[in-house]
Structure 1
Amino acid sequence: MTEPETPADDYDNPWKTMLAHAFPELMAFYFPDAHARIDWTREHSFLDTELRQVVRDAELGKRDADALVRVTRQDGAEQWVYIHIEVQGQRDADFAKRMFTYNYRLYDRYDQPIASLAILADLSPDWKPRGFDLQQLGCTHRFRFPVVKLLDFTDRLHQLERDRNPFALVTAAHLYTARTRHDPNARYRFKRRLVQLLYRHGWTRQRVLDLFAVLDWMMRLPENLEQQLWQDIQALEGAQAMRYITSVERIGRRIGWKDGQLAGKQEGKQEGKREGKQEGQAALLVMLLSQRFGPLSEDTRARLEQADAAQLERWAKRLLDAATLAEVFDEH
């Protein structure tokens, strides 16, 4: 009997989601020196409109997960930080040039010095671009940027599992996903282990839900193993008297599960289509709003989760022109 194929992996969206929801933790985990220079008691904001304009002008093609963020340094000065996460499975000869181009175009357009930081999630162990140089007739330009390579964490997987920073878990999930690309049973075991860790770090319910969504999005499994995982989570939550991952119940209904049993095919299929589509619309809108306006409050997330399809469609259309989050939800 042929083993089921592991579904195609999706890296970009989980990274985009976590970058928007936990930016200070990202900086603390990957760039601790830069994190120490930022005053995190002051609000930080995502400058998505500014970044989109520069990227469009530069005509540099596909972007993966990246962000432009305004922060305040410890000395009180404002600083713009450009984060680029390169998610790919091979070298990119133009990567350093793109980092340089974004940096100087942002500086030229907004007259702001830009801190460019790179996270490389590719699978080429000997590729780690750190800068871009230009030289002509005695004139030189030397651009250097800090870079983090996720493969460098491979020997620290057990340490990552004990670390309370959410990006330790995201990094572990990324490495386990790459390691189990052709082994769905091994991926199931690693995914189950990481889900168990969600209950052990004392995170808030919203943080648990956010991280579960990342794990589920990143570490895709064949349907039979997904169903087994839902049963495992139900047992885990029952044993610990914690009902954090309520989204699991909705996902379970999407594949026909009710009260731990596989419901009738037709009922599960019809219900799954309706709920799956609506939940997908809500999840997409959460991601787009987070990227446009920064991390969303729990009240806003709850409002999106409880909205019907018509409301979600109406808000999605307003997102195109809205200058503020309030304008998206303004019913007048």
Structure 2
Amino acid sequence: MPLPHDEAFKKLLETFFQEFIELFFPELDSMLDYSETRFLMQELLVDIVGEEARELDLLLEIRYRGLDGYILIHLEPQSYRDTRFHERMFIYFSRLFERYRKEHKLIIPIAIFTSDEIREEQDTLEMVIPEHQILRFQFLKVELRKQNWRRFIDSDNAVAAALLAKMGYTTREARDVRREFLRMFMKLKTRLDQGRLALVMSVADLYFQPDRAQDEEIIQELMIQYPEEGEAIMELMPAWKRWGYEEGVAEGIEQGIEKGQAEIIRKLLLHGFTPEEVSKAVELPVDEIKKLV
């Protein structure tokens, strides 16, 4: 079953599409004109694969310098094992080609594998006969668990920060990953608005499994190293906000939310999350989220 983080992950890709391409596909990045980017309406994609009646996760139109025209880029996050996923990507591609071939000369399919397992994901579909290749379809892919987390810690890329906990690291390195994420977040604070910061935090918090005592140590370390920033980080961390909520239950639900999460919940709602999505992300009842709408 797909993980409940899918909607938050898609919003991350929508909001930071350019940062995602810059991070994982630098050669493609150099060919794209981001000033002319348009996400296609989701309802236009319903039933695009016929009997499966699925929706594509993300489809956008963007200008491609090499063709001096517009192309399509299809982004498909995949969080669970599916041995026929490469076939599904080909079906998506075929339907897109059928529908858009007159307007767009190039369609680029990209899969983002977010599974916790390290495995080789099949990205090619081939049909051959002796001495003749009938078909060879290959999509671009990112396998997050195969990415070395240390490669990204000096980056100011918002996608790198949000997905750091999904990169490849050992159990012994988990504390270092957590600390580096918080440090990266401090750098992002200087150039991102509060809504985008909240989005990065909400996605990252889905992947981290914070230990409260350990986080307290890390926050203290950062407050010593960055005395003006450490407390600000703590104020924006969803995990810390949840603890504030839990500790405030005895004083009443409303007071608990005020103590913990009201500000960040409002920012997420303003950023386009539904009350149900926010409820999953911050682990609060939907009814309480709706009171802040």
Tell me the residue number matched to 2:27.
33
Listed as ranges, the matches of 1:132-143 within 5 Å are 132-134=125-127, 140-143=134-137
Listed as ranges, the matches of 1:1-332 within 5 Å are 11-40=5-34, 42-49=35-42, 52-55=45-48, 57-59=50-52, 66-74=57-65, 75-88=67-80, 90=81, 92-111=82-101, 112=104, 113-134=106-127, 140-154=134-148, 157-175=149-167, 179-180=170-171, 187=174, 190-200=177-187, 203-206=190-193, 207-221=196-210, 224-225=212-213, 228=216, 232=220, 235=223, 239-241=227-229, 245=233, 248=236, 252=240, 254-256=242-244, 265-267=249-251, 269-272=253-256, 283=268, 286-288=271-273, 309=290, 312=293
Structure 1: how far apart are the matches of 2:109 and 2:28?
11
Structure 1: how far apart are the matches of 2:89 and 2:128?
17
8 Å CA contact 2:78, 2:111 repeated in 1 = yes
8 Å CA contact 1:121, 1:149 repeated in 2 = yes
Aligned with 2:209: secondary structure?
Answer: coil
Q: 1:194 to 1:109 in 2, by over 3 A?
A: same
How many positions carry a matched residue from both structures? 269
Tell me the residue number matched to 1:297.
none
1:51-79 superposed Cα distances (whole Å, 9 cap, x missing partner): 6424574526697xx31111011243011
Structure 1: how far apart are the matches of 2:188 and 2:263?
31
Give the AA of the match of 2:206: W
8 Å CA contact 1:14, 1:218 repeated in 2 = no
8 Å CA contact 1:116, 1:145 repeated in 2 = yes
Q: 1:49 to 1:267 in 2, by over 3 A?
A: same
Q: 1:279 to 1:145 in 2, by over 3 A?
A: same
8 Å CA contact 1:174, 1:218 repeated in 2 = yes
* Larger CA deviation: 27-36 vs 266-275: 266-275
8 Å CA contact 1:51, 1:67 repeated in 2 = no
Give the AA of the match of 1:221: P
1:110, CA displacement in angstroms? 3.0
Instruction: Give the TM-score, by structure 1 length.
Output: 0.64
Tell me the residue number matched to 1:323.
none
Q: 1:62 to 1:43 in 2, by over 3 A?
A: closer
- The runs of 5 or more residues in structure 1 that have no matched partner are 1-8, 290-307, 313-332
Q: 1:77 to 1:190 in 2, by over 3 A?
A: same
Give the AA of the match of 1:172: L
1:103, CA displacement in angstroms? 0.7
Give the AA of the match of 2:85: F
Identify which of structures 1 and 2 has the higher relative contact order when contacts are C-alpha pairs closer than 8 Å and 6+ apart. Answer: 1
Structure 1: how far apart are the matches of 2:143 and 2:248?
47
Q: RMSD over aligned Cα, in angstroms? A: 4.1
- The runs of 5 or more residues in structure 2 that have no matched partner are 275-288
Tell me the residue number matched to 2:281.
none
Q: 1:254 to 1:53 in 2, by over 3 A?
A: same
Q: 1:231 to 1:30 in 2, by over 3 A?
A: closer
1:234, CA displacement in angstroms? 8.9
* Larger CA deviation: 48-57 vs 11-20: 48-57
1:100-134 superposed Cα distances (whole Å, 9 cap, x missing partner): 01111122123344211222233454423222134
Structure 2: how far apart are the matches of 1:148 and 1:263?
40
The percent of aligned pairs where both chains have the same amino acid is: 19
Structure 1: how far apart are the matches of 2:236 and 2:15?
20
Structure 2: how far apart are the matches of 1:253 and 1:146?
37
Tell me the residue number matched to 1:299.
none
Q: 1:264 to 1:17 in 2, by over 3 A?
A: closer
8 Å CA contact 1:255, 1:272 repeated in 2 = no
1:46, CA displacement in angstroms? 1.0
Q: 1:82 to 1:141 in 2, by over 3 A?
A: same
Aligned with 2:153: secondary structure?
Answer: helix
1:187, CA displacement in angstroms? 4.4
1:309, CA displacement in angstroms? 3.8
Structure 1: how far apart are the matches of 2:48 and 2:63?
24
8 Å CA contact 1:48, 1:67 repeated in 2 = no
